[in-house]
Structure 1
Amino acid sequence: MSKVIFITGASSGIGKAIGEFLHHKNFKVYGTSRNPERIENSLFPLVKLDVRNVESIQLAVAEILSKEDRIDVVINNAGVGITGPLEEIPTEEIKNNFETNLFGPIEVMKAVLPQMRKQKKGLIINITSIAGYMGLPYRSVYSASKGALELITEALSMEVKEFGINITNVAPGDFATNIAAGRYHAPLVKGSDYEKSYGTTLQMMDEHVDGGSNPNDMAEAIFKVINAQNPKIHYKVGAFMQKFSIVLKRILPDTVYEKMLMNHYKL
């Protein structure tokens, strides 16, 4: 029997690439979108879901269960980027980012865990970010929301292991997707003390995304996790130096690591 896969945020970018890859591997894939009616020619069904709305999440899960009577794998992919000097990011945008990147995935997990306990097995894959392993300049909120999801996953993994459920993180680096277009940018304020350094960093971040890896690399990594007999808690997918930066953070003194990041971002 084909596994039933449930992917949030699957109408574009990494989520779409994962969904199409798994569809071609003969999984039963269900994706989600806030506006599925606007998406044409999707290779797999799209269910309406807004991760910031608990009722929307519960309805989407119920719709899939009414059709399949099971959910084997959940991929918490829906997320949003945010950039800016922390001092200049509106508080409502910070809250919106956490609602999407942290509280949304938590509510999705709450919605599917009862079914997975009933099945006595299941796999939840949270798409986090290599940025969640370190505080990056002008990406403080994004790093914090993804880092929090990493730690939630670590704790939840131990809580549900006895029910036959595995929880894991897959942290991508920069991938060539349209994420920058949907990211909230705190505006460059003329005359701001941050104008020059934020402008330089913002340009660099956009170049990293444009020159990022192929999203299919992420899809292949997810496929391997699904087929792993004992999935690890943490996976990293991306360029070597992006993954190696996590190792450097562990072994270098804080001040040295901070200096390395500041040199990288030309601060």
Structure 2
Amino acid sequence: MKVIIITGISSGIGFSIAEHLCKKGHKVYGVSRSKVHEKNVFSIQADVTDFEQLKQAYQEIHDQEGRIDVVINSAGMGISGSIEDTSTEDASYLYNVNFIGTFHSIKAAIPLMRAAGGGKIINISSVAGRIAIPFQAFYSSSKAAINNLTEALDNEVSPFGIQVCAVMPGDIKTGFTKHRKKNRVNHPSYDKRVEKSVAVMEQDEQDGMEPEYAARVICKLIKRKKIPLYKVIGFKYKLIVMLAKWLPSAWVNKVVGSIYGFKRQSSKNTKKAR
């Protein structure tokens, strides 16, 4: 049995991971802003954007259990809309939850794991961290930042016996896209393009993998003696990430644009749109 902390447990992939790990007999502590009513999960109310809250929660768990074996950082949110139409406040809040929240959790966990001689930190990233999605710029870039944070962290903490991994799932049936904050379109030239792009995102999510599948993959990851730096979930997404790595970036970006339902305008049309 392992002692596991999961952030962002109130819904989505975090909840599914917690449910699956409980079935496997692990002791799971779920951290979220609101109380979670899941009989096998020990729910802790804390906000990942508040480091002192998180630090105190982790210390209390450690004092009670004598150790923390695994921390899974899955707290996250999304914004759909153009960069131009996104307010500084909304962008800052997303980065505070997705990136700074992950940083806070890692920062709180490291000294406790170091003292114990090791542990595992798993950061839930996304394929969008490798391939930027139009009208999801802030979500995509926050996940890219988590990937870079994970790489740097690996070199910093490996001497302490702490292993780290960025897990990159593709589309999961969680309702994440449907419930993300949708920005108002202020410029008419974005209107139909945003609508098309979000419709594709929502359809991809409905057709995506079950959250239980992603949870099983992460559960297997925890059991491994040595975890990889990156773990892409799903064959299709492994192929996409591999192709994005080897093909020219401009070509990949153009293909991504076409997938999300719009074509690039000629310079003549662009002048008219202004």
Q: TM-score, normalised by structure 2?
A: 0.92
Name structure 2 gaps, 5 residues minimum.
263-274
Q: 1:120 maps to which residue?
A: 117
Matches within 5 A, 1:121-160: 121-160=118-157
Count of equivalent residues: 262
Give the distance between the partners of 1:251 and 1:35, measured in 2 at CA. Answer: 43
Matches within 5 A, 1:133-212: 133-189=130-186, 192-212=188-208
Name structure 1 gaps, 5 residues minimum.
none
The one-letter code sitting in structure 2 at the alignment partner of 1:202 is: V
Give the distance between the partners of 1:26 and 1:165, measured in 2 at CA. Answer: 23
Q: 1:101 maps to which residue?
A: 98
Matches within 5 A, 1:222-241: 222-238=218-234, 240-241=235-236
Give the distance between the partners of 1:206 and 1:150, measured in 2 at CA. Answer: 24
Give the distance between the partners of 2:142 and 2:221, measured in 1 at CA. Answer: 23
Q: Does 1:259 align with 2:254?
A: yes
The one-letter code sitting in structure 2 at the alignment partner of 1:91 is: T
Give the distance between the partners of 1:250 and 1:210, measured in 2 at CA. Answer: 27
Task: Report the Cα offset of residue 50 of structure 1.
Answer: 0.9
Percent sequence identity over aligned pairs: 37
3-state secondary structure, aligned to 2:188 = coil
Q: CA RMSD in A?
A: 1.4
Runs of 4+ in 1 over 4 A off after TM superposition: none
Give the distance between the partners of 1:85 and 1:216, measured in 2 at CA. Answer: 32
Report Cα offsets for 1:220-267 as digits up to 9, x if no partner: 1111111111111000113x3333221121222223212211221121
Matches within 5 A, 1:34-45: 34-36=33-35, 39-45=36-42
Match of 1:246 among 233, 241, 247: 241
Give the distance between the partners of 2:73 and 2:248, measured in 1 at CA. Answer: 33
Give the distance between the partners of 1:154 and 1:55, measured in 2 at CA. Answer: 25
Give the distance between the partners of 2:237 and 2:168, measured in 1 at CA. Answer: 11
Give the distance between the partners of 1:260 and 1:65, measured in 2 at CA. Answer: 47
Report Cα offsets for 1:91-137 as digits up to 9, x if no partner: 11111111111111111111110010100010000000000002221
Give the distance between the partners of 1:202 and 1:218, measured in 2 at CA. Answer: 23
Q: TM-score, normalised by structure 1?
A: 0.94
The one-letter code sitting in structure 1 at the alignment partner of 2:231 is: Y
* 8 Å CA contact 2:85, 2:185 repeated in 1: no
Match of 2:64 among 60, 67, 72: 67
3-state secondary structure, aligned to 1:45 = strand
* 8 Å CA contact 2:48, 2:105 repeated in 1: yes
The one-letter code sitting in structure 1 at the alignment partner of 2:124 is: I
* 8 Å CA contact 1:188, 1:199 repeated in 2: no
Task: Report the Cα offset of residue 142 of structure 1.
Answer: 0.7
The one-letter code sitting in structure 2 at the alignment partner of 1:249 is: A
Task: Report the Cα offset of residue 214 of structure 1.
Answer: 0.6
3-state secondary structure, aligned to 1:87 = coil
Task: Report the Cα offset of residue 208 of structure 1.
Answer: 1.4
* 8 Å CA contact 2:10, 2:34 repeated in 1: no
CA 1:182 to 1:6, structure 2 compared with 1: closer, same or farther past 3 Å? Answer: same
